[in-house]
Structure 1
Amino acid sequence: MQGLVALPLTAVLPASVYAQTGRKKAVAPAPTQKPKSDVQVNVRDLGATGDGSTKDTVAMQLALDRCSVLGGGEVLVPAGEYLTGALRIHSNTVLRIEEGASLNGSPDIGDYPFTQVRWEGRWIKGYSAFISAQDGENVTIIGKGKIVASPAIKGRVVHADGSPMVYTRPAAGTAPNPDGPTNVARRDIMRNPALMEFTHCRNVLVQDVFTQGNDMWSTHPVYCENVTFRNVTVHSGADGIDVDSCKGVVIDGCEFVTRDDCISLKSGRGMEGNTIGVVCEDIHISNCTFNDAVWACIGIGSETSGGIRNVHVEHCKCLGARTFAIYIKSRPGRGAFIEDIYMNDLEVSGAQQGFLRFNILNSGLQDPDPVPGDDGIPTIRNFHFSNIRVKDVPVLVDGASIHPRKPLEGFSLTNVTGTCGKGIRLANIHHAVIHDVKVTGFAGPLLSTRNVTGTGLGGAVPLQEEKVPDAIGPPVKAYVLR
């Protein structure tokens, strides 16, 4: 097997938990990272053929390794088709993929070694990503070239119907369940290769490249700090970018065409994620275009057990979503919090279920070790949306699935224009502000509420109570992280 040796779980767990502080300012874009030396290594000089059929894994990895041992620098990939297995980028390295160059993932699963990977909020056995970095600093991928996953990896574990063992995606044309399974044990035993994965890294920049994923998450930074994606084209048969327990992430000027969340923000699931406790925080998403065929443009959750906070989204276009353009989701058993979510200047069309939904009652698979009691009900506060333009969305806002024992503290919806089929449903919210919502075309009331206080609520009609999940009792045996 070419590639890297598997790493133990302890190698990917964080050295420390990020300090939890109050509300913070939006994150400024990170500067382009510069290597510590002027070394440039051309992959052709170390034997890469770029002919599209010869495996260039050894030559490519030698170039990356040589750049590292010489103190950092640039690995140059000139025009050509480079077939390769899993590659690891080291600290202080720029991987420059020139226009006309394409890194193409090997179709052989043996070219992706086993390691510990994070999947839906838990660390499990899985295959290494096509391009990865771990415990690195100043890692840059740049250029006008392409990074393309194999559309069909031979030898990976699949079900009898050919779907990936790690999960089954809805067939094209089927209606999805936006909340996913609840207490159903899935058949997953391992995770298939992601396209790019950065684990416990600092100062990561991905800029200008075209990326094409398959039916696994495309790009996955986890436990990282100061990460920037700028002007990246993201095509994926699953999620586009999954920001997982990271601090200081900028996604700017990117274009997404996906079959799951274009961007998903996560922080772990159940007692494992809650015990590790690494927050996903200080996220700035701007000037992006989203088009998703199955789920949402931006999903926050449902893995939220380390907490999610200080998320700013602005100047974006949501051009297609199978469910809601913006989906904030969790469930009892996650614990932690989702707070300080600010979205401004959004253009929304093509969303087949609506503009915005909160579901804090039953979204996602329940963890086998959930956070029990009221501690397991996520705390949610400060969700603010302003300057929203919608076109023919079936529902403007579905915000009724909030636990009555932990209401949403602080919500505003201001300066909304356009057309929608139905209005706004809100329940269990304190300090709401509804102002300048000037939409047309809707049937029924503009606003329906239950247990909501605030301003701009005049004329609201009563909303029927939703079923609340049963309380989660204490575990039979105390949870131990191992």
Structure 2
Amino acid sequence: MTERMNASPRRTFLKTMLQAGAAATFTSPVFALEKKAHTTPVTAAPSVQLNVRDFGAIGDGITLETESLQRTIDRCGVLGGGEVIIPAGRYLTGSVSLRTKVTLRLAAECVILGSPDLAHYAVSQVRWEGKWIPGYLGLIHALDARKIAVLGPGSIEGNVAVAGRPTKENPLRRPALIEFLYCDDVHLEGFSTSYAHMWSIHPTCCDNLVFRNLTVRSTLTNGDGIDIDSCRHVLIDTCDIASGDDCISLKSGRGEEAYQLARPTEDVRIVNCTLEGRGFACIGIGSETSAGIRRVLIEGCRVTSVYKFAVYIKSRVGRGAFIEDLTVRDMSAAKMRMGFLKISQTSAGVQDENPVPGLDGLPLFRNISFLRIHVDDAPVLVEAKEISADKLLDGLTLDGFTGTCAKGLELANITHATLRGIAVSGFTGPLLRIDNVTGKGLQGAEKLPPRGRTELVATPAVPYKLH
């Protein structure tokens, strides 16, 4: 698929960001990802080291510390960068903004506490369910910054009073806990977070991200752990995430807006993570995919329990773009309420008010591989039948599945499928049911009822234009 040109320069977008007064595909994606070195340094040796206590911070958990924290960060930034030290204590704050070449170091027994008052959070254009809308920025955030870091071992605690979904009375998107917009070279390591009813970590349109050794607790509905949104060159390494929605979500926007902006999520590695999905999936690929998702490697991860599917690859008619070159290997999964893997190309997620019309609006799925997977008592092993005959899933490899499941595999509208080493037990009925599937390892499959034709989005009388 030919990559479309980005229609909205970053600098033009950022001129209107902060509201005044408000506080060519690789043939082997795995090889390509492994050759890409994620060696982003934590930071260079800091040129200065500033302590927030020297700038008026108290750390009693009662005094609002926003001004003192921001003053320290700003001072560090204008001196050329370095470390801002937050010692032991409890620091109540509204949103604070990191600056280029500044590292925020949270000492042991340091707790950053989010204010319960939305008036203490800055307002900007932010992404919400795949669309740019006005909203509150994250408690810790950065705009167009580079070489920034937040390091532990302290913790960051959001306030549920400011979480949740936008309302008619207050249509602004609620603040994420940690959020980066158009940043480059971001490193988060060694701290813990807690929040509820809203996303914990949300980078958007960023490059070169490393998230390592994080403990993320983002419980209750809408509580995603880490949302990677139109970002490139990402490493999520050895993180422990318990989420009220998706533990890790990869996305790239929704509808014609994101399709025309054409900023995919690409070159992502998720390794050695422990995941507990209390509300939806442990790893969600989509459904906001209108700029595409490609070159993703997930390996060595463990799903301890999940409310729906351990891995859910999803999009819908009207999204357009692609999900391609995805490899999941050496994963184990237990305590699944619905199953291990679901793939839905046509019907996941809400329809956009400006969907991508015609056959272009039907997403392309290709080159998806699952290797060496172990499941314990999966209700369903693989469900991949919400796929259109108008645009087949091209290339699905399922190789080396072990463990137990109640139901096997159901596949529809797939070409170049490869099934081998499916050595599961405990299921009733046929292990494999298919419709319009070609490839290897399909012997003995029973027939699924044929799928109906896919209704595409009609072309509007007036073509969509970014506005």
TM-score normalised per structure 2:
0.92
CA–CA distance in structure 1, aligned partners of residues 110 and 327 of structure 2: 38
* 2:75 aligned counterpart, secondary structure: helix
Change (3 A) 1:8 1:312: closer
Deviation at 1:265, TM superposition (A): 0.2
CA–CA distance in structure 1, aligned partners of residues 291 and 453 of structure 2: 23
Task: Determine whether 1:22 maps to 2:50.
Answer: no
* 1:422 aligned counterpart, secondary structure: coil
Q: Among 10, 13, 22, which residue is 1:10 paired with? A: 13
* Partner in structure 2 of residue 224 of structure 1: 206
* Partner in structure 1 of residue 47 of structure 2: 38
Deviation at 1:151, TM superposition (A): 2.1
Q: Among 424, 443, 451, which residue is 2:409 paired with? A: 424
Change (3 A) 1:365 1:8: farther
* Partner in structure 2 of residue 179 of structure 1: none
Q: Among 330, 334, 346, which residue is 1:345 paired with? A: 330
CA–CA distance in structure 1, aligned partners of residues 175 and 90 of structure 2: 20
Task: Determine whether 1:334 maps to 2:316.
Answer: no
Deviation at 1:464, TM superposition (A): 1.3
Task: Determine whether 1:275 maps to 2:260.
Answer: yes
Task: Determine whether 1:117 maps to 2:110.
Answer: no
How do 1:34-113 and structure 2 match up within 5 A?
34-35=43-44, 37-113=46-122
CA–CA distance in structure 2, aligned partners of residues 285 and 207 of structure 1: 15
Q: What letter matches 1:453 in structure 2?
A: T
Tell me, yes or no, if the aligned pair for 1:105 and 1:130 is still in contact at 8 Å. yes
CA–CA distance in structure 1, aligned partners of residues 166 and 11 of structure 2: 20
Q: Among 339, 355, 369, which residue is 1:384 paired with? A: 369
Change (3 A) 1:467 1:112: farther
* 1:213 aligned counterpart, secondary structure: strand
Deviation at 1:21, TM superposition (A): 4.4
CA–CA distance in structure 1, aligned partners of residues 26 and 264 of structure 2: 12
Deviation at 1:190, TM superposition (A): 2.5
CA offset digits 1:154-197 (Å, max 9, x no partner)? xx8xxxxxxx4438xxxxxxxxxxxxxxxxxx999331000000
- Structure 1 unaligned segments of length 5 or more: list them: 1-6, 15-19, 157-163, 168-185
Tell me, yes or no, if the aligned pair for 1:302 and 1:328 is still in contact at 8 Å. yes
Which deviates more, 193-202 or 210-219? 210-219
Deviation at 1:404, TM superposition (A): 0.9
Q: Among 319, 333, 351, which residue is 1:366 paired with? A: 351
CA–CA distance in structure 1, aligned partners of residues 299 and 172 of structure 2: 36
Q: What letter matches 1:93 in structure 2?
A: V
Deviation at 1:128, TM superposition (A): 1.3
Tell me, yes or no, if the aligned pair for 2:389 and 2:454 is still in contact at 8 Å. no
Tell me, yes or no, if the aligned pair for 1:30 and 1:250 is still in contact at 8 Å. no
Deviation at 1:476, TM superposition (A): 2.2
Q: Among 310, 313, 318, which residue is 2:303 paired with? A: 318
Tell me, yes or no, if the aligned pair for 2:361 and 2:456 is still in contact at 8 Å. no
* Partner in structure 1 of residue 277 of structure 2: 292
Deviation at 1:352, TM superposition (A): 0.6
CA–CA distance in structure 1, aligned partners of residues 453 and 276 of structure 2: 33
Change (3 A) 1:9 1:82: farther
CA–CA distance in structure 1, aligned partners of residues 425 and 299 of structure 2: 24
- Structure 2 unaligned segments of length 5 or more: list them: 1-9, 18-23
Deviation at 1:36, TM superposition (A): 6.8
Deviation at 1:86, TM superposition (A): 0.3
Identity of aligned residues (%): 45
Change (3 A) 1:476 1:465: same
Tell me, yes or no, if the aligned pair for 2:58 and 2:91 is still in contact at 8 Å. yes
Q: Among 204, 216, 224, which residue is 1:234 paired with? A: 216
CA–CA distance in structure 2, aligned partners of residues 409 and 13 of structure 1: 41
Tell me, yes or no, if the aligned pair for 1:81 and 1:102 is still in contact at 8 Å. yes
Q: What letter matches 2:185 in structure 1?
A: N
Which deviates more, 90-99 or 27-36? 27-36
Q: What letter matches 1:405 in structure 2?
A: D
CA–CA distance in structure 2, aligned partners of residues 447 and 311 of structure 1: 27
CA–CA distance in structure 2, aligned partners of residues 12 and 347 of structure 1: 46
Tell me, yes or no, if the aligned pair for 1:223 and 1:246 is still in contact at 8 Å. yes
CA offset digits 1:81-130 (Å, max 9, x no partner)? 00000000011011000110000000001001221100111100111110
CA–CA distance in structure 1, aligned partners of residues 197 and 417 of structure 2: 39
Task: Determine whether 1:395 maps to 2:404.
Answer: no
* 1:10 aligned counterpart, secondary structure: helix
Q: What letter matches 1:124 in structure 2?
A: I
Q: What letter matches 1:87 in structure 2?
A: V
Deviation at 1:143, TM superposition (A): 1.4
How do 1:149-168 and structure 2 match up within 5 A?
149-153=158-162, 164-166=164-166
CA–CA distance in structure 2, aligned partners of residues 210 and 255 of structure 1: 9
* 2:260 aligned counterpart, secondary structure: helix
* 2:456 aligned counterpart, secondary structure: coil
Q: What letter matches 1:104 in structure 2?
A: L
Q: What letter matches 1:438 in structure 2?
A: A
Q: Which runs of structure 1 show a deviation greater than 4 angstroms over 4 or more consecutive aligned residues? A: none
CA offset digits 1:394-431 (Å, max 9, x no partner)? 00000111111111110110111000000000000001
Count of residue pairs the alignment pairs up = 444
* Partner in structure 2 of residue 197 of structure 1: 179
TM-score normalised per structure 1:
0.89
Deviation at 1:213, TM superposition (A): 1.9
* Partner in structure 2 of residue 177 of structure 1: none
* 1:395 aligned counterpart, secondary structure: coil
* 1:366 aligned counterpart, secondary structure: coil
* Partner in structure 2 of residue 176 of structure 1: none
CA–CA distance in structure 1, aligned partners of residues 105 and 170 of structure 2: 36
RMSD value, Cα = 1.9
